[in-house]
Amino acid sequence: PDIVFDAVGIERTFTQALNLVKIGGKVDVIGLGFGDLTTSPILNIPCKEINVIGILRYANVFPQAIRLVASKKLPLVKLITHRLDFSELVKGMEMIAKGEKDAVKVMIKVR
The structural domains of the chain, ordered by start, are: 1-56 (3.40.50.720), 63-111 (no CATH)
* pLDDT tens digits, 7-65: 888 888 889 999 999 999 999 888 777 777 776 688 888 889 999 888 777 667 778 88
Q: Alpha-carbon distance 111 to 30, whole Å?
A: 23
- Taken in order 15, 35, 55, 99, the sign of the CA dihedral is positive
Torsion of CA 58, 61, 67, 73, to 10 degrees: -100
User: What pTM, to 2 d.p., does this model score?
Assistant: 0.51
CA angle 47, 52, 53 (to 5 degrees): 170
Q: Assign 81 to helix, strand or coil.
A: strand
Q: Alpha-carbon distance 110 to 61, whole Å?
A: 29
Q: Running DSSP on this structure, what letter comes out for residue 102?
A: T
* pLDDT tens digits, 61-109: 778 888 888 998 878 888 889 999 999 999 998 888 888 888 888 899 9
